[in-house]
A and B are shown apart, each in its own frame.
Chain A
Amino acid sequence: MKTKKFMQFMMMVAVMMMVASPVAAHFGTIIPSDDIVTQDDDKTLKIEVKFLHPLEGHYMEMVKPKQFGVMHDGKKTDLLASLQAAKAKGPDQDKSFTFWQADFKIRRPGDYTFFVEPTPYWEPAEDCFIIHYTKVCVDALGLEEGWDAPVGLETEIIPMTRPYGLWTGNLFTGQVLLKGKPVPFAEVEVEYLNESPGNKSIVVPPSDPYVTQVVKADANGVFSYAMPRAGWWGFAALNEADWKIKHDGQDKGVEIGAVFWVHTIDMK
């Protein structure tokens, strides 16, 4: 009887894993080694740039981004040359994929918004290209200024919640911009990064809809989501570009995503 129950359970797990896989959302990812740099911290950040399914930990091959930089005190600095290729794979992937990493030295107080514009990614399953304009903000040395400034990307999320120093359970509110204008009723996908440093146990979704949370923005393009776990959370607002990219001689649609990452810790 016991073995039978166990077998049933294992079957359920297997089915769940099979069902859960294909629905995962793609997310451009930028994760810094620290999101609040204080005087006693290491001033050199390690930044990882990836393209993956955050909850399931599935990596996708990423070619060198088109643009990678940081905005601080209203000025943008190109950091593309500092990117170095590395390889990694998810727990149930059998081959490794390319991602990118860079070191960045914090020299002054204030907020540093890192941004990446990847090279268009061809997704045969969706018959379109994907470009996720991705941002993350790091605060340094007690000056909390700059986090709400737009970088000026094709599409981007402007945080309306200060995007660092967040507790688990906090509401994250942001505004979705496309060519600098709010996107009414934009659809925003939210995922937890299972490989977040310090994540106590891998989150296993009980069924598909748990993998990617979906919220819609209001008429001003403003959305909110309360984050139930400590670690990194990704917000991806997806839109269809009004331009095409050629694939094998044919014009194909382009999904452009505005992605923002924030970190939470438990209150204790």
Chain B
Amino acid sequence: MNIMKPMKYVLVVMAVVLLFGGTAMAHKVSLFAYAEGGKIYTESYFPDGKPVQGGKVMVYDSQDQLILEGVTDDEGLFSFDIPKIDDFNIVINATMGHKNSFKLKKSEVEAGK
């Protein structure tokens, strides 16, 4: 009779592990940015290389002012004209609130203007 109890417990644990264990890793997002030919290009991706589609990109300057925002395309890409020569902090906000950011240095922006 009692044999079902531990079984149930195991199943619940397994369900929880499957639900959260898997997603924690899969949803770690990253953004990479570089400046080239007057533009700043961003690429947003999951660790296995899948693009972050429809992720919100926010660009902050060295004064931490939001200067522009956009949405990643099907390939996880979003680009924009260099707004000014400055240090930028570029934030990617994927679904479910998974965020990461990338610091693009002024020197790199200068080199790519």
Which A positions have Cβ atoms within 8 angstroms of B?
39, 107-110, 141-145
Report the nearest B residue to A162, measured CB to CB.
B47
Overall SS of chain A's interface:
loop
Q: How far is the CA of A144 from the CA of B26 in the complex (A)?
A: 11
A142 B45 Cβ-Cβ under 8 A:
yes
Contacts of A142 in B (CB 8 A): 28-30, 32, 45, 47, 100
Known contacts A39-B103, A107-B34; can you find 13 more A-B pairs with CB under 8 A?
A: A109-B30, A109-B32, A109-B43, A109-B45, A110-B49, A141-B32, A142-B28, A143-B30, A143-B32, A143-B45, A144-B47, A144-B48, A144-B49
Cβ 8 A contact of B48, one of A39, A107, A109, A145: A145
Contact A141 B49, CB 8 Å, known A39-B103, A109-B43 = no
Contacts of B48 in A (CB 8 A): 144-145
Contacts of B103 in A (CB 8 A): 39
Contacts of B29 in A (CB 8 A): 142
Overall SS of chain B's interface:
strand
CB within 8 Å of A: which of B96-110?
100, 102-103
Contacts of B43 in A (CB 8 A): 109
Q: How far is the CA of A107 from the CA of B47 in the complex (A)?
A: 17
Contacts of A39 in B (CB 8 A): 102-103
B32 A108 Cβ-Cβ under 8 A:
yes
B30 A145 Cβ-Cβ under 8 A:
no
Report the nearest B residue to A140, measured CB to CB.
B32
Q: How far is the CA of A107 from the CA of B30 in the complex (A)?
A: 15
A143 B102 Cβ-Cβ under 8 A:
no
Report the nearest A residue to B28, measured CB to CB.
A142
Q: How far is the CB of B34 from chain A (nearest CB, A)?
A: 8
**Quick one: which of B32, B34, B43, B103 has the most chain A CB within 10 A?**
B32
Q: How far is the CA of A148 from the CA of B74 in the complex (A)?
A: 26
**Quick one: which of B48, B49, B100 has the most chain A CB within 10 A?**
B49
Q: How far is the CB of B110 from chain A (nearest CB, A)?
A: 16
Q: How far is the CA of A109 from the CA of B47 in the complex (A)?
A: 10
Nearest first, the 3 A-B pairs at minimum CB distance are: A142-B30, A145-B49, A144-B47
Q: Offer 26 A-B interface pairs, CB within 8 angstroms, sorted by A.
A: A39-B102, A39-B103, A107-B34, A108-B32, A109-B30, A109-B32, A109-B43, A109-B45, A110-B49, A141-B32, A142-B28, A142-B29, A142-B30, A142-B32, A142-B47, A142-B100, A143-B30, A143-B32, A143-B45, A143-B47, A143-B49, A144-B47, A144-B48, A145-B47, A145-B48, A145-B49
